[in-house]
Chains A and B, each alone.
Chain A
Amino acid sequence: MTSLPYSDAIAPATRARPAADAPARRDRIVGALFVAPLVVALIVTTLYPTLFLIALATSKSTLGKPFRKFVGTDQFVATLTDGNFQIAVAKSIAFAFASATVEVAVGFLVALAFVTLLRLGRTLLVIALLPLMTPPVMVAVAWKLILAPAGGLLNGVLMKAGIIDAPLSFLATPFLAWLSIGVADLWQWVPFVAILSFAALVSLPDGVQEAAMVDGASPLQRLRHITLPLVAAPLASIFLLKLIIGFKLFDLVYVLTFGGPGFATTTATFGIWRLALEQFDVGNAAAETLVYAIVIGIVTIPVVRLHRFASENQP
């Protein structure tokens, strides 16, 4: 560290300009250069898609020939009054909230178990990486094999146990199809929640727990009155993250149900994908995308508020 080579590129400038604010100015230029690629990236990944989608949504557009004719708000009106799309958006939102709620609760319990096991728990946590790292498409393939009517593991087990007489088509009935997607999603994301919750739990100060133990608080009382208030903020963060991830649901639907049976598991994202890449109706797909993005923004705001509240009122 002591013998860092003198930077030739910068040294002359320092000598040439003895003014006190020269290094600060140079710092500003260097800083701007450092962030410039990221700013460009943000423009390409957020601003450009937004403007492009607006242009597509207000014109008659197909995948082969975009921007054929200006149609104003026609496609937005069609999107907003499309009952199927409304239902798809509602399902997406319901799935995101339901899966985030269940998975944060289960993941937190798993983390509690791991924390209680101390060093063994830390070792076992590594196994939790596996589902998290598995590509969602393969997660869906694995669950499809387990749930298959002919030769699926679950049907085999249930029939051998005498619980059912004939195999169930889990992916062919709306309720069971959603449940199946939910279980596959739970499998993939509970480890994520558990790893983050584990980190939050082990970073808690030891003294508080011990003091409560000395005072004779039961494990459940300690969890309710000491641990939970202390991890409320990180849990709110994790919930927000999982909620955002939940809105992106696509791969599991594609492989497990392809939106079916009928349109039962067609989410907003899946519907948009089909409209754009199967029917090439890019104009309406763009309108749907914008509406969905805005809806996500609106329903996420209360959660962001809650998150801020939890962070600011941290004990």
Chain B
Amino acid sequence: MTARALSSLELGRNPMRVLALGGALVALAFFLLPIAYLLSVSFKRKDDVLAGNFLPVDPTLDNWPGAFAATSLTTFIANSVIVSVLAGILTIAITLPAAYAMIRMGVFRRFLPQATLASYIAPPVVGLIPFFFLLKTIGLLNTHAGLILVYGLLNIPVAFWLIGPFLRRVPVEIEEAAALDGAGRFRTLVSVVAPIIAPGIAATTIIVVILSFNEFLLASGLTLTDGMRTLTVGISLFQGDRLVNFGQMAAASLAGIVPIYLIAFLMQKHLVEGLAKGGVK
């Protein structure tokens, strides 16, 4: 924090701001600490890990290639990316037209929005056994397609919650103009409404993709072989290993988080806005 930034806050004149700045900095330090420690441990040698210092004494890069060599980390990450991105697209493809129909065309507006949101209350464990048998029956157990289907459908309530407020804010006049020009509902949605709420769609897509990327409970039951395991399941197995190498574990975890952080960093504005708008009335 530079002196100029501090003075621009006029700290001297406002004690509430000093208090707020102190509180905010403590919160930020707390938010950053585990990630910073993970990063630090990923550069520690085996005996260095046991010393309990924050920073590595004698930093090494070995843990990073080591983590990729010790597990099928690349496969896990690829599986997670494929599954979460395609599931995200499926979620949006189902939610956007449905939300448009409910909110702008009044289709089943009495109960369907509530039913959609209420379905989010059920914990994921409810789906664990039924989805296992469903995927087994249709031959999609332990496949990308199976997980994509499950995540794609399960994230619909979250997508609806986030995208609804954006849809409500589209001026009706624009849709009426499109209708006068002869555009049908589908064309209005695709060529007129969707471009207007593109930031909302982007934020919603990113959030549902991240939710799938981060999911663990269902992935642990619906994938059975190393070739199909997602990253979270792979890391949890790393965990169970008796000869667990903390440095490699930290490196593996970070390698899996980096794509998410990159997305979060690049799309920060959309994400905060998407969450904030979707949020709460």
Residues on the A chain within 8 Å of B34, using CB: 131, 139, 142-143, 146, 187
Q: Does A196 contact B (CB under 8 A)?
A: yes
**Per-residue interface assignment for chain A, residues 93 to 117, with 1 indicating a CB less than 8 Å from any chain B CB and 0 otherwise:** 0000000000000000110111011
Q: Does A226 contact B (CB under 8 A)?
A: no
Residues on the B chain within 8 Å of A160, using CB: 52
**Number of A residues with CB within 8 Å of any CB on chain B:** 110
How many A-B contacts at CB < 8 Å in the complex? 311
Contact between chains at B217 and A250 (CB < 8 Å): yes
Give B265 Cβ to nearest chain A Cβ, in Å. Answer: 8
Contact between chains at A35 and B17 (CB < 8 Å): no
Residues on the A chain within 8 Å of B31, using CB: 127-128, 130-131, 187, 191
Residues on the B chain within 8 Å of A38, using CB: 94-95, 98, 112, 116, 156, 160
**Per-residue interface assignment for chain B, residues 132 to 167, with 1 indicating a CB less than 8 Å from any chain A CB and 0 otherwise:** 111000000000000000000110100010000000
Q: When chains A and B are docked, how far (Å) is the Cα of A153 from the Cα of B28?
A: 18
Q: When chains A and B are docked, how far (Å) is the Cα of A131 from the Cα of B217?
A: 19
Q: Does A180 contact B (CB under 8 A)?
A: no
Given A48-B134, A134-B35, A187-B34, A110–B217 Cβ distance below 8 Å? no
Residues on the A chain within 8 Å of B19, using CB: 113, 116
**Per-residue interface assignment for chain B, residues 63 to 86, with 1 indicating a CB less than 8 Å from any chain A CB and 0 otherwise:** 000000000000000000000000
Contact between chains at A141 and B178 (CB < 8 Å): no
**Per-residue interface assignment for chain B, residues 103 to 131, with 1 indicating a CB less than 8 Å from any chain A CB and 0 otherwise:** 00111100010011001111111111111
Q: When chains A and B are docked, how far (Å) is the Cα of A63 from the Cα of B264?
A: 39
Contact between chains at B126 and A137 (CB < 8 Å): no
**Number of B residues with CB within 8 Å of any CB on chain A:** 104
Contact between chains at A296 and B121 (CB < 8 Å): yes
Residue of A nearest to B181 (CB): A4
Q: When chains A and B are docked, how far (Å) is the Cα of A257 from the Cα of B275?
A: 31
Residue of A nearest to B215 (CB): A135
Q: When chains A and B are docked, how far (Å) is the Cα of A266 from the Cα of B5?
A: 48
Given A135-B256, A142-B35, A35–B107 Cβ distance below 8 Å? yes
Q: When chains A and B are docked, how far (Å) is the Cα of A45 from the Cα of B131?
A: 9
Residues on the B chain within 8 Å of A39, using CB: 112
**Per-residue interface assignment for chain B, residues 12 to 46, with 1 indicating a CB less than 8 Å from any chain A CB and 0 otherwise:** 00001101110110011011111101100100000
Contact between chains at B268 and A66 (CB < 8 Å): no
Q: Does B228 contact A (CB under 8 A)?
A: no
Q: When chains A and B are docked, how far (Å) is the Cα of A206 from the Cα of B192?
A: 34
Q: When chains A and B are docked, how far (Å) is the Cα of A300 from the Cα of B192?
A: 40
Interface centre among A7, A141, A190 (most CB of B within 10 A): A141
Residue of A nearest to B188 (CB): A4
Q: When chains A and B are docked, how far (Å) is the Cα of A46 from the Cα of B115?
A: 10
Q: When chains A and B are docked, how far (Å) is the Cα of A292 from the Cα of B181?
A: 53
Contact between chains at B107 and A141 (CB < 8 Å): no
Q: When chains A and B are docked, how far (Å) is the Cα of A33 from the Cα of B127?
A: 26
Given A31-B105, A45-B153, A129-B271, A151–B49 Cβ distance below 8 Å? yes
Q: Does A76 contact B (CB under 8 A)?
A: no
Contact between chains at A254 and B216 (CB < 8 Å): yes
Residue of B nearest to A138 (CB): B253
10 tightest Cβ-Cβ pairs between the two chains A and B: A156-B52, A199-B276, A116-B20, A34-B101, A38-B98, A31-B107, A142-B34, A135-B214, A49-B130, A234-B280
Can you offer 21 A-B residue contacts whose CB atoms are under 8 A?
A: A6-B182, A34-B98, A35-B97, A35-B108, A37-B94, A116-B19, A121-B24, A131-B31, A133-B210, A133-B214, A133-B263, A134-B35, A136-B214, A145-B37, A145-B41, A199-B276, A234-B279, A234-B280, A237-B279, A269-B123, A289-B129
B residues whose Cβ falls under 8 Å from a Cβ of A? 5, 9, 16-17, 19-21, 23-24, 27-28, 30-35, 37-38, 41, 49-54, 93-95, 97-98, 100-102, 105-108, 112, 115-116, 119-134, 153-154, 156, 160, 174, 177-178, 181-187, 191-192, 210, 213-214, 216-217, 220-221, 231-232, 235-236, 239, 246, 249-250, 253, 256-257, 260-261, 263-264, 268, 271-272, 275-277, 279-281
Q: Could you list 7 further interchain pairs (A-B, Cβ under 8 angstroms) beyond the known A34-B107, A137-B216?
A: A30-B185, A34-B97, A35-B108, A37-B97, A237-B280, A238-B279, A238-B280
